[in-house]
Structure 1
């Protein structure tokens, strides 16, 4: 690339991009006495990969190096085009896999990313850390 050339960026068609479930792979569970190897977040991600391989899901699964939510154990973030984003903490990699999949599916199926409190899996209802407005409109 010469000095005057602008870098070419791949265009992403946001209308066809699936919402994402981002899982922090560097998290340690909040109830852990010490860090594990692999980390609890990586175990959560690996279990979700196995689960997603068996199902046709309406969301993409992505690892995240750090969601900077370390005091709240295993953390995940949901985001999508035109949707409110959410960060959830204290996700148990042993017991919340199916509930997390259910929540991400409901999120993906929603128009604006908002899943009513009563429609969220009971294990995750009180785990919301943040709700983030969409970049491309509310």
Structure 2
């Protein structure tokens, strides 16, 4: 069986619209909120906390990856308003064959938030 696709959430991120780091960090808040949603649903991806995706000017940042799939880094994810959108995007990513979710199929709130696209290794 192939491993599930992964939604990696930077837990050290500070939101790009914040005037100073929060405690807990905005990325940690995003991770906790996604965990709450995942606990109540059978989602086709797993969620992992990571430290620093080195996208600090565009925090909060997340990365999507999976075996044989293109990887993506998204920035400016709002932990207050984008949790459902992020779950929808990660589900569509997980269900795609090559990790490519058409621009029109992405949630409106995240369409313009792509920072990088990374080719698959295998």
TM range, normalised to the smaller chain? over 0.9
Tell me, in whole angstroms, the C-alpha distance in 2 between the residues paired with 1:101 and 1:127: 15
Q: In the alignment, which of 42, 50, 55 is matched to residue 36 of structure 2?
A: 50
* Runs of 4+ with >3 A deviation: none
The gaps in structure 2 that reach 5 residues or longer are none
2: CA distance, partners of 1:131 / 1:73: 17
**Residue aligned with 2:16, SS:** coil
Q: Cα RMSD (Å) of the superposition? A: 0.5
> Looking at CA atoms only, which structure, 1 or 2, has the larger radius of gyration?
1
Residue in structure 2 matched with residue 3 of structure 1 by the alignment: none
Q: 2:86 aligns with which of 86, 100, 106?
A: 100
Aligned length: 122
- In structure 1, C-alpha distance between the alignment counterparts of 2:95 and 2:12, rounded to whole Å: 28
What is the TM-score normalised by the length of structure 1? 0.88
Choose between structure 1 and 2 for higher RCO, CA contacts under 8 A separated by at least 6 residues. Answer: 2
Report the equivalent of 1:74.
60
Question: Can you list the C-alpha shifts for 1:103-127, whole angstroms capped at 9, x where unaligned?
Answer: 0000000000000000000000000
What are the Cα deviations for residues 15-62 of structure 1, in whole angstroms up to 9, with x where unaligned? 420000000000000000100000000000000000000000000000
User: Please, what TM-score do these two structures have when normalized by structure 2?
Assistant: 0.99
| Residue in 2 that maps onto 1:111 | 97
- Equivalents in 2 of 1:78, 1:16: separation in Å? 16
